[in-house]
A = this chain, B = another copy of it.
Protein backbone atom coordinates (compact mmCIF):
# COMPACT_ATOMS: atom_id res chain seq x y z
CA UNK A 1 0.00 0.00 0.00
CA UNK A 2 1.78 3.12 -1.24
CA UNK A 3 -0.63 5.83 -0.13
CA UNK A 4 -3.09 5.06 2.63
CA UNK A 5 -6.74 5.82 2.12
CA UNK A 6 -7.04 8.71 4.56
CA UNK A 7 -10.50 9.57 5.86
CA UNK A 8 -12.30 12.30 3.96
CA UNK A 9 -13.93 15.13 5.84
CA UNK A 10 -17.30 13.50 6.23
CA UNK A 11 -15.75 10.28 7.41
CA UNK A 12 -13.66 12.16 9.93
CA UNK A 13 -16.70 13.89 11.33
CA UNK A 14 -18.46 10.56 11.72
CA UNK A 15 -15.45 8.74 13.11
CA UNK A 16 -14.36 11.38 15.59
CA UNK A 17 -18.00 11.75 16.56
CA UNK A 18 -18.34 8.06 17.18
CA UNK A 19 -15.19 7.95 19.29
CA UNK A 20 -16.21 10.95 21.36
CA UNK A 21 -19.77 9.70 21.73
CA UNK A 22 -18.66 6.28 22.78
CA UNK A 23 -16.22 7.55 25.39
CA UNK A 24 -18.35 10.24 26.96
CA UNK A 25 -21.67 8.46 26.85
CA UNK A 26 -20.20 5.34 28.42
CA UNK A 27 -18.54 7.41 31.13
CA UNK A 28 -21.69 9.38 31.83
CA UNK A 29 -24.05 6.41 31.93
CA UNK A 30 -21.63 4.51 34.11
CA UNK A 31 -21.31 7.43 36.49
CA UNK A 32 -25.07 7.83 36.78
CA UNK A 33 -25.72 4.15 37.24
CA UNK A 34 -23.00 3.95 39.86
CA UNK A 35 -24.36 6.97 41.72
CA UNK A 36 -28.00 5.87 41.53
CA UNK A 37 -27.60 2.23 42.36
CA UNK A 38 -24.01 1.28 43.08
CA UNK A 39 -23.82 -0.84 39.94
CA UNK A 40 -21.46 -0.54 36.99
CA UNK A 41 -22.57 -1.01 33.40
CA UNK A 42 -20.80 -4.37 33.41
CA UNK A 43 -22.71 -5.40 36.54
CA UNK A 44 -25.88 -4.26 34.85
CA UNK A 45 -25.30 -6.35 31.74
CA UNK A 46 -24.63 -9.47 33.75
CA UNK A 47 -27.62 -8.92 36.00
CA UNK A 48 -29.92 -8.32 33.04
CA UNK A 49 -28.77 -11.52 31.37
CA UNK A 50 -29.21 -13.52 34.56
CA UNK A 51 -32.58 -12.07 35.41
CA UNK A 52 -33.88 -12.70 31.90
CA UNK A 53 -32.90 -16.33 32.04
CA UNK A 54 -34.35 -16.83 35.49
CA UNK A 55 -32.66 -19.81 37.02
CA UNK A 56 -29.05 -20.92 37.06
CA UNK A 57 -26.96 -20.35 33.93
CA UNK A 58 -23.78 -22.06 32.91
CA UNK A 59 -20.82 -19.69 32.71
CA UNK A 60 -20.22 -20.48 29.06
CA UNK A 61 -23.88 -19.90 28.26
CA UNK A 62 -23.68 -16.50 29.90
CA UNK A 63 -20.48 -15.69 28.03
CA UNK A 64 -22.09 -16.62 24.71
CA UNK A 65 -25.15 -14.56 25.47
CA UNK A 66 -23.15 -11.50 26.45
CA UNK A 67 -20.56 -12.09 23.74
CA UNK A 68 -17.86 -11.74 26.36
CA UNK A 69 -14.59 -13.62 26.61
CA UNK A 70 -14.70 -16.23 29.30
CA UNK A 71 -11.85 -14.72 31.29
CA UNK A 72 -13.51 -11.34 31.28
CA UNK A 73 -16.68 -12.92 32.57
CA UNK A 74 -14.84 -14.92 35.17
CA UNK A 75 -13.22 -11.80 36.59
CA UNK A 76 -16.53 -9.97 36.54
CA UNK A 77 -18.33 -12.83 38.29
CA UNK A 78 -15.66 -12.88 40.98
CA UNK A 79 -16.11 -9.19 41.67
CA UNK A 80 -19.89 -9.57 41.75
CA UNK A 81 -19.77 -12.67 43.92
CA UNK A 82 -17.63 -10.76 46.41
CA UNK A 83 -20.44 -8.20 46.64
CA UNK A 84 -23.05 -10.96 46.99
CA UNK A 85 -24.90 -9.99 43.81
CA UNK A 86 -24.74 -13.58 42.63
CA UNK A 87 -23.50 -17.04 43.56
CA UNK A 88 -21.49 -19.69 41.80
CA UNK A 89 -22.71 -23.25 42.20
CA UNK A 90 -21.19 -26.58 41.29
CA UNK A 91 -22.57 -28.34 38.28
CA UNK A 92 -23.52 -31.93 39.03
CA UNK A 93 -23.54 -33.09 35.39
CA UNK A 94 -20.10 -31.77 34.53
CA UNK A 95 -17.62 -31.36 37.35
CA UNK A 96 -15.62 -28.82 35.34
CA UNK A 97 -18.61 -26.55 34.93
CA UNK A 98 -20.24 -23.97 37.13
CA UNK A 99 -23.66 -22.48 37.43
CA UNK A 100 -24.27 -18.83 38.16
CA UNK A 101 -27.39 -17.73 40.00
CA UNK A 102 -28.73 -14.35 40.91
CA UNK A 103 -28.90 -13.74 44.65
CA UNK A 104 -31.87 -11.99 46.23
CA UNK A 105 -29.70 -8.89 46.55
CA UNK A 106 -28.78 -9.14 42.88
CA UNK A 107 -32.41 -9.28 41.85
CA UNK A 108 -33.27 -6.35 44.06
CA UNK A 109 -30.34 -4.40 42.64
CA UNK A 110 -31.28 -4.86 39.00
CA UNK A 111 -34.94 -4.12 39.60
CA UNK A 112 -34.04 -0.96 41.46
CA UNK A 113 -31.48 0.16 38.88
CA UNK A 114 -33.26 -0.50 35.61
CA UNK A 115 -35.84 2.30 35.48
CA UNK A 116 -33.39 5.14 36.10
CA UNK A 117 -30.88 3.64 33.71
CA UNK A 118 -33.43 3.29 30.92
CA UNK A 119 -34.55 6.84 31.54
CA UNK A 120 -30.95 8.03 31.31
CA UNK A 121 -30.52 6.30 27.95
CA UNK A 122 -33.77 7.82 26.71
CA UNK A 123 -32.97 11.31 27.79
CA UNK A 124 -29.31 11.35 26.77
CA UNK A 125 -29.65 9.45 23.53
CA UNK A 126 -33.05 8.99 22.02
CA UNK A 127 -34.69 12.25 23.01
CA UNK A 128 -32.23 13.92 20.67
CA UNK A 129 -32.89 11.70 17.65
CA UNK A 130 -35.79 11.23 15.26
CA UNK A 131 -37.09 7.88 14.04
CA UNK A 132 -35.18 7.97 10.79
CA UNK A 133 -31.91 8.59 12.57
CA UNK A 134 -32.56 5.75 14.98
CA UNK A 135 -33.36 3.46 12.08
CA UNK A 136 -30.21 4.44 10.23
CA UNK A 137 -28.14 4.05 13.37
CA UNK A 138 -29.31 0.47 13.72
CA UNK A 139 -28.44 -0.18 10.07
CA UNK A 140 -24.98 1.30 10.52
CA UNK A 141 -24.34 -0.88 13.53
CA UNK A 142 -25.48 -3.99 11.68
CA UNK A 143 -23.37 -3.20 8.64
CA UNK A 144 -20.19 -2.50 10.58
CA UNK A 145 -20.70 -5.41 12.93
CA UNK A 146 -21.01 -7.74 9.96
CA UNK A 147 -17.59 -6.62 8.74
CA UNK A 148 -16.01 -6.77 12.19
CA UNK A 149 -17.37 -10.25 12.84
CA UNK A 150 -16.34 -11.44 9.39
CA UNK A 151 -12.76 -10.35 10.00
CA UNK A 152 -12.82 -11.19 13.73
- Find out whether the CB atom of B14 lies under 8 angstroms from the CB atom of A134: yes
Q: Mark A141-152, 1 if CB is under 8 A from B, else 0.
A: 111111111011
CA–CA, A121 and B137, complex, Å: 18
User: For residue A22, which residue of chain B has the nearest CB?
Assistant: B22
Interface residues of A in 98-138 (CB under 8 A from B): 114-116, 118-119, 121-129, 131-138
Instruction: Name the contact of A124 in the complex, choosing from B24, B141, B148 (C-beta under 8 A).
Output: B148
CA–CA, A24 and B122, complex, Å: 23
Q: Mark A1-32, 1 if CB is under 8 A from B, else 0.
A: 10011110011011101101111111010000
Question: Which residues of chain B have C-beta atoms less than 8 A from A147's C-beta?
Answer: 123-125, 127-128
- Find out whether the CB atom of B24 lies under 8 angstroms from the CB atom of A149: yes
How near does chain B come to A15, taking the closest CB pair, in angstroms? 7
How near does chain B come to A128, taking the closest CB pair, in angstroms? 4
**In the complex, A140 has a CB within 8 A of chain B:** yes
Residues of A with Cβ closer than 8 Å to B?
A: 1, 4-7, 10-11, 13-15, 17-18, 20-26, 28, 67, 114-116, 118-119, 121-129, 131-149, 151-152
